[in-house]
Amino acid sequence: MTHANASKSRPSLSALTAVSRRHALMLGAATALMGTSSLALAQQAPTTLLNVSYDVARELYKQVNPAFVAAYKAKTGQTITVNQSHGGSSKQIGSVIGGLEADVVTMNQATDVDTLAEKGLTSADWRNKFPNAAAPYSSTMLFLVRKGNPKGIKDWGDLARQGVSVIIPNPKVTGNGRYGYLAAWGSVVAKGGTEAQAKDFVSKVLANVPVLDGGGRGATTTFTQRGIGDVLLTFESEAELIENEFGKGNFEVVYPSISIEADAPVAVVDKVAQKRGSAALAKAYLDFLWTPEGQEIIAQNNFRPRDPAIFKKHEKRFAPIKLFTVEQTLGGWAKVGKTHFADGGTYDQIMAARR
């Protein structure tokens, strides 16, 4: 081959430069794509969760969260953070609907989670996502009275007596208050009473309520620190906690003959979890509540665990009283929500008659 022919077969300097530029552009595009993919992957795997919960579950999740964080790190090697928000249950759900980005909700009444489902924030079949209709524990409603029980309060009927001051949070916006209201109503119906008799009884009880706080903790403060009321209607899980916080011997627990079983449902807020990429982490967090470790923490906080062996281990913590459920005795949560707590419902009627 002659020198002239060889020169013709070689690419020109300008052609080489063009190829190099193309390679550089391709490499830059690939690098940018890899960076975008890495960013997307990071966004899909957040290391924080927000659990929006009801008022009186504060102490429970103060213990659940670090236990879960440790268990999750041991399993995956990843360090995560769980943040909490507490308040009146219906108010909390309103905040989530209003834009508070909760990955999970841990409530004390099914109607609140149903409200999220109605708004498209979680799936309509949320009850089927976890065992026990998505309620890892339950509680019930008891009476807390002052030392010596000066008003002689023994059962539900005593709460309707003249001269007895009853403390209960607002049933319109709190799960604690709602369960107290329904426990009083069901105490009549479960023993064969009519709806009219139940309404009359609950009207008399509410007439004895001097103040309606916006959460369970607020009601506890009214009773224990402000010294208002003769009896506090509260969750079984709160009784020991109140004694420990405000001094043993200052109060006494009274177990009514019958009360309501208060399930505490949980759910992943699907719309938020999908947006944040936290669905797997959120599910792992809620799954932890059904593990032996999670159930043990639940029992130690005086909530009724679902694990039969752990319940038996701690059964002395729980009052041996007859329990009824919303589904069995009151027609289910959908009926209760529309009949009692919708605007213009039975609760509003009773409160309007008080004025």
Query: Is the predicted pLDDT of residue 120 greater than 60, yes or no?
Result: yes
> Is the CB of residue 268 less than 8 Å from the CB of residue 289?
no
Domains of the chain, by residue range, sit at 10-43, 45-136+264-290, 138-262+317-354
CA-based end-to-end distance of the chain: 112
Residue 25's pLDDT is 45
Please determine whether the domains at 45-136+264-290 and 138-262+317-354 fall in the same fold group of CATH: yes
Per-residue pLDDT tens for 187-200?
999 999 999 999 99
Going by C-alpha positions, the residue among 283, 261, 237, 215 that lies closest to residue 54 is: 215
Residue 18's pLDDT is 45
Query: Is the predicted pLDDT of residue 17 greater than 60, yes or no?
Result: no
Per-residue pLDDT tens for 85-118?
998 888 899 999 999 999 999 998 898 999 999 9
Confidence of residue 13 (pLDDT cuts 50, 70, 90): very low
Per-residue pLDDT tens for 251-303?
999 999 999 999 999 999 999 999 999 999 999 999 999 999 999 999 999 99
- pTM comes to 0.80
For 81, phi then psi, to 5°, come to -125, 135
Residue 145's pLDDT is 95
Query: Is the predicted pLDDT of residue 182 greater than 80, yes or no?
Result: yes
pLDDT over 70, % of the chain: 87
Query: What are the b/e assignments for 213-251, b being 16+ CB within 10 Å?
Result: bbbbbbbbebbbeeeebbbbbbbbbbbebbbeeeeeeeb
CATH code reported for the domain at 138-262+317-354: 3.40.190.10
Average pLDDT rounded to a whole number, residues 212-225: 89
- Rounded CA-CA distance 265/277 in Å is 23
Query: Is the predicted pLDDT of residue 22 greater than 60, yes or no?
Result: no
- Rounded CA-CA distance 270/102 in Å is 9
19 Rama sector, left if φ>0, alpha if ψ -120 to 50, beta otherwise? alpha
Residue 15's pLDDT is 41
SS3 342: coil
> Is the CB of residue 171 less than 8 Å from the CB of residue 341?
yes
Q: Which residue has the higher pLDDT, 7 or 23?
A: 23
Confidence of residue 34 (pLDDT cuts 50, 70, 90): very low
What topology does CATH give the domain 45-136+264-290? D-Maltodextrin-Binding Protein; domain 2 (3.40.190)
The CA dihedral of 6, 12, 13, 16, to the nearest 10 degrees, is -110
Count Cα atoms within 13 angstroms, Cβ side, for 16: 4
Per-residue pLDDT tens for 294-338?
999 999 999 999 999 999 999 999 988 999 999 999 999 989 989
